[in-house]
Amino acid sequence: MDKSAPADLAPAAATDCRAPSTSSGPTVGVALGAGGARGLAHVHVVSALNELGISPVAIAGASIGAIIGAGMAAGMTGAEIGDYAVETVGKRGPIANRLWSLRPASMRDAFGGFRIGHFNLERILKAFLPDAIPAEFASLKIPLQVMVTDYYGQRSVVCEGGDLYQALAASAAIPALFMPVVMNDRVMIDGGILNPIPYEALKPLADIVIGVDVVGGPEGDGTHMPTRIESLFGSSQLMMQGQIALKLERSRPDILLRPAINSFGVMDFLKARQIIAATAATKDELKRALDARFTAILRG
């Protein structure tokens, strides 16, 4: 990638990872966006494709989108991903038990300290993600592209080989909350910072590209003074929405979904069941959009 290009406009470099289609019909690629707990809405996208019998030729994801994309690429269904999320991050008891299991000599060592911004996400993911997600990209059933941000390189980078958990941790390493991840001697942070919905990487690989935006934005009556944490996450949302707007001006996915997630916070994982219930309409919306796209393509 040309480092002289503006970081927010420069495309991420990626190699061809097209998988052979299992159908004679149009191929589908799925880009699952960043958004923290809001990204649990992605399970409906996975479920819609499951119910239609569509296996994507490639998946791309940023942050929570990369994590759910990994589950899908490993062969999990949308229902399995949703149920697993509700039973783990959606309940206080299981969260406490899994965090306790992380301790080596002490809980402090397990997280690299309890200071904000120093939580070790790679260790946390290994404790929380299902066994179905393999350690390496090569063991996935569907090619997966995980977006990360090179902090000092000021560019978006695509990970599609090697250590899967390390890539997922880097992609979801929200600044000021989680530790950055060092990959190939480079400091990497949240992939959603520069590329919240990485659909452009899939355009050469699939006939129909689906992009799912779960970034959302600050919600309120316009007079409520946000807390420091609300300001931190809200300003990040505004920045990412700016990135999305720039991307959409240049090129749009064939299908763009925006589930109703604004009433939920980035870290509202304990509301997993409510988030999934509130965004259930996304499944039928995608089915209708795919039907229209398939019909248009087949009619020529």
**Which residues carry out catalysis?**
63, 190
39, 71 in Cβ contact below 8 A? Answer: no
Rounded Cα gap, residues 93 and 209, in angstroms? 38
On the CB side of 126, how many CA atoms lie within 13 Å of its CA?
17
Rounded Cα gap, residues 65 and 172, in angstroms? 9
150: amino acid identity, one letter: D
155, 1 in Cβ contact below 8 A? Answer: yes
* 292 token code pair: 């229209």
Residues 6+ apart with CB under 8 A from 26: 207, 208, 293, 294, 297, 298
